Amino acid sequence: MTGRLDGKVALVTGAASGIGAAHVRVFAANGAKVVAADIQDDKGQALIREIADKGGEAVYVRLDVAQEREWLGAVAEAVRRFGKLTTLINNAGIANTQGVEAETLAGFNRVVSVDQTAVWLGMKAAIPEMRKAGGGAIVNISSVFGIIGSPGFIAYHGAKGAVRLMTKAAALEYAKQGIRVNSIHPGIIDTPIIGDSKITREAVEQFKLATPLGRMGRPEEIAHGSLFLCSDEASFITGAELVIDGGWTAQ
């Protein structure tokens, strides 16, 4: 296979489902070698078989993104299998639906550890290998909820807002080393996270109504944004935030 990511080796977190799985498919189809990382081993392995059947190159690694030691293992595995690491998609995430008073300290800390702290851990683990590779590209998956507020998602908003600014801070810190760092802000996308986070059917309908294009997005519509940002076509783009939300935040 040849494509816009020829020569790249990409580590994708939360790769077994939804937006992460779409990244694995789109990146492999465009010539990247992909390390798909998740905690859902069966789904991750099945995805790797699908990629191999289509002629792509991908491996699965188990990685709980909230555990620093597991990050070191995943990055080492990428280098062992494919010789280098050039690209990181910090995508793994969980949502909750608790407001300020209903949220618990444990619940808040859990969301922050997976959605925010893990994004920093991923950059910290991957950047030394990107430097060795002569440069790299990182995409941190935030949310429109990292830009605008809404009632009832206090920890998620905090974490996703932090990802937006950590992205800009890291972009400035590593610009001179040829490592580009950008964030993507999806609107409402049709993935299992919607059911898992107990967002009600009514809330989903409201999100759709708030979306000028009048529908939920598809996971590959987010992966195509990352495809561009991680390709050499985006060589002058760093510290940017790409909103992919059907027009939601343009209003």
Ligand X SMILES: NC(=O)c1ccc[n+]([C@@H]2O[C@H](COP(=O)([O-])OP(=O)(O)OC[C@H]3O[C@@H](n4cnc5c(N)ncnc54)[C@H](O)[C@@H]3O)[C@@H](O)[C@H]2O)c1
Binding site for ligand X (CB under 6 A): 13-14, 16-20, 38-40, 63-66, 91-95, 114, 141, 143, 186, 188-189, 191-193, 196
Of 8 and 160, nearer to ligand X (C-beta) is: 160
Q: List the catalytic residue out of 27, 156, 174, 248.
A: 156
Min dist. Cβ of residue 182 to ligand X (A): 15
Distance between CA atoms of residues 56 and 10, nearest Å = 13
Residue closer to ligand X, measured from CB, 56 or 186:
186
Residue 236 CB, nearest distance to ligand X (Å)? 26
Question: To the nearest whole angstrom, how small is the minimum distance from the Cβ of residue 44 to ligand X?
Answer: 8
Contact 38, 92 (CB under 8 A): yes
Shortest reach from residue 134's CB to ligand X, in Å: 28
Q: How far is the CB of 75 from ligand X (least distance, A)?
A: 14
Between 19 and 127, CB nearer to ligand X: 19
Q: State which amino acid sits at residue 95.
A: A
Pairing between strand 87-90 and 57-62?
unpaired
Using CA atoms of 94, 40, 218, 187 in order, give the dihedral in degrees to the nearest 10: 10
| Closer residue to ligand X (CB): 176 or 250 | 250
CB 58 within 8 Å of CB 33: yes
* Minimum distance from residue 37 beta carbon to ligand X (Å): 7
Q: Distance between CA atoms of 46 and 50, rounded to whole angstroms?
A: 6
> Is 156 an active-site residue?
yes
Q: Which of 197, 165, 177, 52 is nearest to 126 (CA)?
A: 177
**Residue with smaller CB distance to ligand X, 56 or 146:** 146
Measured from the CB atom, is 154 or 189 closer to ligand X? 189
Residue 12 has φ and ψ, to the nearest 5°, of -115, 125
Any idea which residues carry the catalytic annotation? 156
